[in-house]
Structures are given as structure tokens and as C-alpha cells.
A and B are shown apart, each in its own frame.
Chain A
Amino acid sequence: NAGVTQTPKFRILKIGQSMTLQCTQDMNHNYMYWYRQDPGMGLKLIYYSVGAGITDKGEVPNGYNVSRSTTEDFPLRLELAAPSQTSVYFCASRSGGQGAKNIQYFGAGTRLSVL
């Protein structure tokens, strides 16, 4: 079982470059999330999606874009990379519904440095 897969694992960008962080899940989950984790901090929600074609902003959406054309994939786009976007990015998913279906499953993360 692959679960939630993120690529790449590491990336170094120059200021002003763009890139897409990939996230795919094979659990047929409706809900998907993108978080960032700065050193010594908890996770902050960037964007989330409750199903294909539906996305919404989280706490820290500025500088990012997302799309959800399929249930499996939820890419995160950085258009003009800035040093403030240096962070570890996590993708997560859950099935939807109540109770234990709230449990989120995380990918291994993408460590991004913008220099």
C-alpha cells in the first residue's frame, strides 16, 4: 500500500523560480490537504480539497495555488518562489465522514529551500 506519495523529496529553488509539488494518494480519499512546517513549529494549512474540482484556502495560502482534477492527485504550485517559502511541505488525505474517518494520513514530506 503506497498511501500518500509526495515528490520530490528535496528541492532547491532560486528566488523567482516556479515549481509544482506533487501529491497522489491511492486510498480513494475525498479530502486532501497541503501543510507547511517551519523549523520548530507545528503544521499550518495552506490549501485543502473536499473532492475533485473543489479547493479552498487554509491559514497560509498566499504565494501558492492548487488544483484537483482527479480524486488521486492534488498538486501544489509555487509561482514565484521566495525565501519565506523555505519549509517542509506535507500532503495529507482522509476519507471523509465523521468519527475515525477524520483521521488524516500524511506523505513523507518535501523539503524545499529557496535561495
Chain B
Amino acid sequence: GIQVEQSPPDLILQEGANSTLRCNFSDSVNNLQWFHQNPWGQLINLFYIPSGTKQNGRLSATTVATERYSLLYISSSQTTDSGVYFCAVSYNTDKLIFGTGTRLQVFP
């Protein structure tokens, strides 16, 4: 099955810094989603982005499907950005495969 690797596993930032999170996947996908899990455990979808680039406020994401990776950019980070960011993928199936996540801590 498809393997999903996320890097870095942990990231510590000061408020206001920018960061890039990476998701590599081992095979073709036509479904890629980024999620944020806040410190209380709630999972929120950030982007549905099987290809191309999207932006939502301070967050943006780019997926290069032909090279099998996706990037999540966080600009001007805030303490509320803390939590775990997951990438999840699938190909012609409902079975999303999740990576192990990037744990982000933003300090004031």
C-alpha cells in the first residue's frame, strides 16, 4: 500500500516565524488532505489538495503529484497553530492513509 512520510517529526518555533512541513508519498494519489489536530485532540481539515496550490489566510499548501510530495506553509506562526499536522492520502479508494504527523510547538 501507499506509504506516507512526514518531516520534520517535531518543530519548535517562536511566534511570528515561518515554517514548511513536508509530506512524501510512495505512489500515485488522487486524494490528499492536510489536517490539524489541536492540543485537545480535535481534528480539523485544512486543505483538500491532490494537486496544485491553495491558500487560506496564513496557511498555504502545494502538492506536486508527479514528484509525490506536498508542502504545507505556515507564515507568521501563532501559539494557536500548535498541535500536530497530518497529511493523509488515497488513490481511487475511501481508505485514507495517514502519516505520523509533524508536532508543532509555537512559543510566545
Contacts and interface: CB of A to CB of B under 8 A. Distances in A.
Interface of A: 31, 33, 40-45, 48, 50, 58-59, 88, 90, 92, 99-100, 102-106, 108-109
Contacts of B42: 106, 108-109
Interface of B: 4, 31, 33, 35, 41-45, 48, 86, 88, 94-96, 98-101
Contacts, number: 50
Contacts of B95: 45, 48, 58-59
Contact of A103 (B4, B45, B101): B45
Contacts of B96: 33, 43, 45, 104
A103 B98 contact: no
Ordered nearest first, which 5 A-B pairs have the shortest CB separation? A42-B98, A106-B43, A43-B98, A103-B45, A42-B100
